[in-house]
Structure 1
Amino acid sequence: MNQTDPDTAGEDALALLNLIDAGGAAAPRRLLLEQHGSAAAVLAAGPRAWRAAELSEKQIDRLRTPQAETLDRASRWLGDPNHHLVAWNHPDYPPLLRRAPSPPLALFVVGEPALLWHPSVAMVGSRSPTPAGTDNAADFSRALARSGLAVISGLAAGIDTAAHRAALDAGGLTVAVLGTGPDVAYPRSNAELLARIGQVGAVVSEHLPGTQARPEHFPSRNRILAGLSLGTLVIEAAERSGALITARLASECGREVFAVPGSIHNPLARGCHRLIREGAGLVESAIEVTAALAPLAAELADGLRRRLGVPTTSGHASDEAMPPADHAGHASVTHDDHDGRERVSGAPPQAQYADPDYQRLWNALGYDPTGMDRLVDRTGLTIAELSSMLLVMELEGRVAALHGRYFRNR
């Protein structure tokens, strides 16, 4: 699921890094990638083609004189098998973000890029929340993660940190979108949290490795948060805050915006009250969020299935056929009888997959949580293949996950 794995990096990876490092407006560089098919072909096209695409002279100068130290650092970062670079013109580029205004030229990803296709909610709010705001962020994040939605936030102090930690502690999926390079924690106190998310979730940045925090990066970061998510939930926010910027960007993307109300005496509730007056959904529980987003989650699941639906020739006869998906052709919010948790399911049912690899994976799963390494041993499939397949099966309600371990949904 990446544009530049270590075994295929080479010339085009370096060219893409050079194109990213050129900076400036992304639209002309996206156009060049679409016209020429690869970053290496873009560089080979030369200044005449660059000017025709309306690159600025500053961008052209940067392409002519690559920053060797910067590109070398980024190339070394890509040498880690858990590090990926997904370009705008690659089919694995997240479809929701592709449809958003001003999508990034490329994404640096720590973790499996397929996770960026997972139905998700952006959770944002104050960097200095009240104790009640912190509790609300944790409660909503925990419930959303258990429902099957991913929780996306910006790794900032306060609400962001509470949301990420609660999703991880619930055994769910969380994604951190950074305003720094993918290897730079901001604030520094979240370095351990950043590493943890990279191991079991995903970390995303449009900035080259080593890029430090700059004020202008964070509004730009917020557009990625809004663009990757089905909806944005604001927990606590003052009337002028970055959280309200994210909410506005989500609205501009055509996505749902939700806000949690608070006391009229709490200045950090005023931003939420303003959003509600302007049409945001007033929510008091995660069930209200999952119910509103279920149809959109189904659409995203269908897109992922089409992306991953190419049959393979490997495999063997099945031992036990997979049951049909546990829903009726559309996304819905259901309750698990065993733990009372609400879950989002989506995508049309199938009696069983024609692809024998999916059947092999089903046979390798049991009702006890099984780690990825054990599944690799049992199936002979790679971690990348298993991650993508498990994501599809989880969206269909066949498989559940807990703390990075997978089991058949009861």
Structure 2
Amino acid sequence: MTGSIGPLAAGPDQLAHWLRLERVRGVGPETARKLLRRFGLPANIFAADVPALRELVSDRIAQALLAPPDAAALAQVEKTLQWAGEPGNRILTLADADYPADLLHIADPPLLLYVKGRIELLSRQSLAVVGSRNATAQGLVNAEKFSETLSAAGWTIVSGLALGIDTAAHQGALRYAELACGSTIAVIGTGADIVYPARNRTLAHLIAQAGCIVSEYPLGTAALSGNFPRRNRIISGLSRGVLVIEAAAESGSLITARMAAEQGRDVFAIPGSIHSPLSKGCHQLIKQGAKLVEAAQDILEEYGQQLEQTPAAAARAGGLPQQDTLLALIGFDPVDIDTLALRAGQDSASLHAQLLTLELQGRLERLPGEIYRRLH
């Protein structure tokens, strides 16, 4: 987006004007951006007269802009300002210096972004991972492992908090969040104060702590079907590329891929069985020019990166203490010794002493079958 809006953080008074603009009936994002290009900031819009406004909008919208906000609008603004004042919460406007630069260049950047969690992730290198809500077991494994590997290499994984592939992608990306490598961003289709689907409540809380939740919708916005396809442009807009893992021929993931292509982002797809309905969408994308990938390394090589600097290696070079590194590598779910050895880049025999120490400290427990679970 181009225009005369300069970068500055919105204080409470300025933010109240942005929130008021968001609620004016008849003023959608496109109209709001048109007004902002002319008048600079919302306060200037509300200070303009009807003739000046009518140069850009209808008389009805001009009158709505100048009408005092009603009690419901004032209550919503007050509630939102209180939310924004809570630790970890932030509302970014188009004029905010922290607004993601990549989003400014898409065709329809959100007027406001409601952010919960680590706002700095919005400016880091990111890759979107999307796919079917009704994924196969192999699809879920692929989503988790690809995201885990990319996160270990320093990438932030962007997805939509839906069931299936999205959930697995977020979970995999969180594995290395404590090592300050990659993490995850969830772009949701509800207000930032609502968790949908409810089954992902625990995951959403983990993302709010170690990652970032983003919404363009006002607080209290329920899960409306039309909001989810629309939010896909933000998922792709925040990312350098989009990886599609399992998608039917008619799939919301293909909408994200199409938006990514329109935004000049890379599109990657994992092939599958010619007999699987969930491979049809990926095969369609590959026919249309998406890059076929079989391993996370394929994506890293596309960006000139190798898996040489693992989180464990970074920690040994002066990052986290070794025990904290091992806990971070265990992640939030139980893990077997062989998988943990692979993550740590050590043989299982050398890990036993470290694991025993952590067990005696009460920081993890050993389960049957040489499986370890982190306690805190």
* TM-score, normalised with respect to structure 2: 0.75
Change (3 A) 1:144 1:60: farther
AA matched with 1:270: K
| Aligned residues with identical type, % of pairs | 41
Change (3 A) 1:239 1:164: same
The answer as to whether partners of 1:2 and 1:84 remain within 8 angstroms in 2 is: no
Change (3 A) 1:15 1:189: same
State the secondary structure of the residue aligned to 1:107.
Answer: strand
Quote the residue 1:210 is aligned against: 220
Change (3 A) 1:177 1:236: same
1:39 pairs with 2:12: no
Q: Which moved more, 1:168-177 or 1:240-249?
A: 168-177
Q: Deviations over 1:105-141 (max 9, x none)?
A: 1211112333211110111100110101100100111
Q: Deviations over 1:371-393 (max 9, x none)?
A: xxxxxxxxxxxxxxxxxxxxxxx
Alignment equivalent of 1:28, drawn from 23, 28, 31: 31
State the secondary structure of the residue aligned to 1:335.
Answer: coil
State the secondary structure of the residue aligned to 1:170.
Answer: helix
Report how far residue 52 of structure 1 moved: 2.5
Q: Deviations over 1:75-105 (max 9, x none)?
A: 2211213111111122322111111111111
In 1, the alpha carbon distance for the partners of 2:58 and 2:234 equals 23
The answer as to whether partners of 2:9 and 2:97 remain within 8 angstroms in 1 is: no
State the secondary structure of the residue aligned to 2:95.
Answer: coil
The answer as to whether partners of 1:3 and 1:84 remain within 8 angstroms in 2 is: no
Quote the residue 1:243 is aligned against: 253
AA matched with 1:267: P
Report how far residue 280 of structure 1 moved: 0.3
1:115 pairs with 2:66: no
Quote the residue 1:88 is aligned against: 94
Alignment equivalent of 2:193, drawn from 183, 195, 198: 183
Change (3 A) 1:105 1:55: farther
Change (3 A) 1:36 1:154: same
Correspondence 1:57-96 to 2 at 5 A: 57=60, 61=64, 64-66=67-69, 67-96=73-102
The answer as to whether partners of 1:18 and 1:63 remain within 8 angstroms in 2 is: no
The answer as to whether partners of 1:156 and 1:187 remain within 8 angstroms in 2 is: yes
1:196 pairs with 2:206: yes
Quote the residue 2:306 is aligned against: 333
Q: Which moved more, 1:62-71 or 1:250-259?
A: 62-71
AA matched with 1:221: R
The answer as to whether partners of 1:260 and 1:282 remain within 8 angstroms in 2 is: yes
AA matched with 1:203: I
Unaligned runs of 5+ in 1: 295-331, 342-365, 371-410
Report how far residue 60 of structure 1 moved: 5.3
Q: CA RMSD in A?
A: 2.5
Report how far residue 221 of structure 1 moved: 0.5
Change (3 A) 1:55 1:292: farther
Report how far residue 53 of structure 1 moved: 2.9
The answer as to whether partners of 2:46 and 2:65 remain within 8 angstroms in 1 is: no
In 2, the alpha carbon distance for the partners of 1:60 and 1:238 equals 47
Alignment equivalent of 2:148, drawn from 138, 142, 153: 142
AA matched with 1:39: P
State the secondary structure of the residue aligned to 2:48.
Answer: helix
State the secondary structure of the residue aligned to 1:121.
Answer: strand
Quote the residue 1:369 is aligned against: 320
State the secondary structure of the residue aligned to 1:196.
Answer: helix
Change (3 A) 1:367 1:340: closer
1:265 pairs with 2:268: no
State the secondary structure of the residue aligned to 2:285.
Answer: helix
The answer as to whether partners of 1:291 and 1:333 remain within 8 angstroms in 2 is: yes
The answer as to whether partners of 2:50 and 2:62 remain within 8 angstroms in 1 is: no
Report how far residue 37 of structure 1 moved: 3.1
Change (3 A) 1:249 1:369: same
The answer as to whether partners of 2:152 and 2:311 remain within 8 angstroms in 1 is: no
1:233 pairs with 2:184: no
AA matched with 2:15: A
The answer as to whether partners of 2:114 and 2:214 remain within 8 angstroms in 1 is: yes
In 1, the alpha carbon distance for the partners of 2:277 and 2:62 equals 43
Q: Deviations over 1:176-232 (max 9, x none)?
A: 101111111110111221121111211111111111111111111001111111000
Report how far residue 18 of structure 1 moved: 0.9
In 1, the alpha carbon distance for the partners of 2:58 and 2:153 equals 45
State the secondary structure of the residue aligned to 2:306.
Answer: strand
Higher-Rg member (1/2): 2
1:219 pairs with 2:229: yes
Correspondence 1:288-327 to 2 at 5 A: 288-294=298-304
The answer as to whether partners of 1:85 and 1:106 remain within 8 angstroms in 2 is: yes
Unaligned runs of 5+ in 2: 1-6, 322-376
Report how far residue 254 of structure 1 moved: 0.7
Change (3 A) 1:59 1:144: farther
Alignment equivalent of 1:98, drawn from 94, 104, 127: 104
The answer as to whether partners of 1:85 and 1:109 remain within 8 angstroms in 2 is: yes
Aligned residues: 306
